[in-house]
Amino acid sequence: MTYVNIRIPSRIGSLRYCGELLQQYLLKSNLASTVTLSTDYIEGRINIGVDDFILALVHNRKCDIAWMDTPLYYTQRIKNTYSRRARELCVKFYTTSKFNEEIAKELGFRVDGIIPRLINEELFNIDKFRYKQEYDIITIGNYDSVDRKNLRLQRDLLPKLGVKAVFISNIFLPKNTTIVQYRTGTVSEELKIELLAKSKFLLWTSFVEGFGMPVLEAMAVGTIPIYSDVPAHNEFAVGIPIKPVDHYIACGYGTRIHKWIIDPDSVEEAIKYALGLSKEEYQDLSAKCREKALQIYNTTTSKIPDLLKLDKSTKKEIVEEEESKIEILYHNI
């Protein structure tokens, strides 16, 4: 029997949701007999870390097998201070995108592979065109001090265009007859899927992502993303891209962060183009979205068993390679 603990950084937030999806999949697929979800490392289990790998480094949140991403960049201080710890944090390390793979390698991680994030398979069971398309736009995202999702841009732009929109977000929205809002954290999985199905387009204006799950979720339903053409979601996104106009390394979340600049005029142009698609053009692009999302999902599920492969030979190979550089401590499983 296989006993698994999914170590998450917090009991709330998107990484907890990622952990819950993995927990459900492992149990449903009979890949593990027991799967717990915890903020702690649990001895005697395979501890899979679902986390932000830069913050996991800083706070030393160890695991056996890491499946981590990050929207962050690192300061030189973080690299100098924690690059040694990167080799000690886990036995095997997987990330979710090529964008993250580069950052992880620069920080000193030995990257064993790329596994895209898991999404709810129920998304693929939706017949989008049986739903009345009540909204032109849906947007999903948590607003914070950095405004990484560019939600203020959307809040200012969408009322001017007069489009029917639904926000799943905690950002403050003035009263508007064409915009409906559901607060972040109050929407069930079933309602989220229903709202995606009832929307023609997802507007995704984030200036950087570790992965970008809402884009893949929208694609799985057949809701076409209007998306910022930036990492890491641009590695898989199918839809209508918005090209950034500039890029720099900014301050954010107590460290550094990539920031691709999204011009509001470009967003407006993309929305108008999207709403001008013919019925045939829309249905064709929607089908391509679903096809790509299913391809990504199948890639992920085919690789998830790798997250449970942690045997003595694997440990021995890593130890032999790294023992001349650092001392690595391993947990008995």
Which of 31, 36, 39, 33 lies closest to 7, judged by CA? 39
- pLDDT for res 24: 97
Q: Does the model's pTM come out above 0.75?
A: yes
CA distance 135 to 199: 5
Return the amino acid letter for 161: L
- pLDDT for res 87: 84
Which of 81, 77, 14, 92 lies closest to 46, judged by CA? 92
Which contacts (CB < 8 Å, 24+ apart) does range 131-134 have? 131/194, 131/197, 131/198, 132/198, 133/198, 133/199, 133/200, 134/164, 134/166, 134/198, 134/199
Helices 189-197 and 213-221, axial angle in degrees (round to 10): 60
Same fold, 3-119+300-322 and 123-298: yes
Residue with tokens 């501890």: 47
Per residue in 153-202, pLDDT (tens digit) is 999 999 999 999 999 999 999 999 999 999 998 999 999 999 999 999 99
**3-119+300-322 has which fold?**
Rossmann fold (3.40.50)
The mean pLDDT of the chain is 93
Which of 51, 52, 55 lies closest to 5, judged by CA? 51
Confidence grade of residue 1 (pLDDT, cut at 50, 70, 90): confident
Domain segments of the chain as ranges? 3-119+300-322, 123-298
Confidence grade of residue 320 (pLDDT, cut at 50, 70, 90): very low
Per residue in 99-147, pLDDT (tens digit) is 999 999 999 999 999 999 999 999 999 999 999 999 999 999 999 999 9
- pLDDT for res 54: 96
- pLDDT for res 311: 62
- pLDDT for res 326: 34
CA distance 274 to 250: 31
Confidence grade of residue 316 (pLDDT, cut at 50, 70, 90): very low
| pLDDT beyond 60 at 73 | yes
Confidence grade of residue 325 (pLDDT, cut at 50, 70, 90): very low
Per residue in 201-223, pLDDT (tens digit) is 999 999 999 999 999 999 999 99
Confidence grade of residue 312 (pLDDT, cut at 50, 70, 90): very low
Least confident piece of the model among 17-31, 73-87, 134-148, 258-272: 73-87
Q: Are 38 and 11 in contact (CB under 8 A)?
A: no
Residue 225's H or E segment, with its range, is: strand 224-228
Looking at domain 123-298, its CATH architecture is: 3-Layer(aba) Sandwich (3.40)
Per residue in 251-288, pLDDT (tens digit) is 999 999 999 999 999 999 999 999 999 999 999 999 99
Give the CA count within 13 Å in the CB-facing half-sphere of 323: 7
Which of 256, 167, 162 lies closest to 208, judged by CA? 256
Average pLDDT (287-302) is 98
| pLDDT beyond 70 at 317 | no
Residues above pLDDT 70, as percent of the chain: 93
Average pLDDT (29-53) is 97
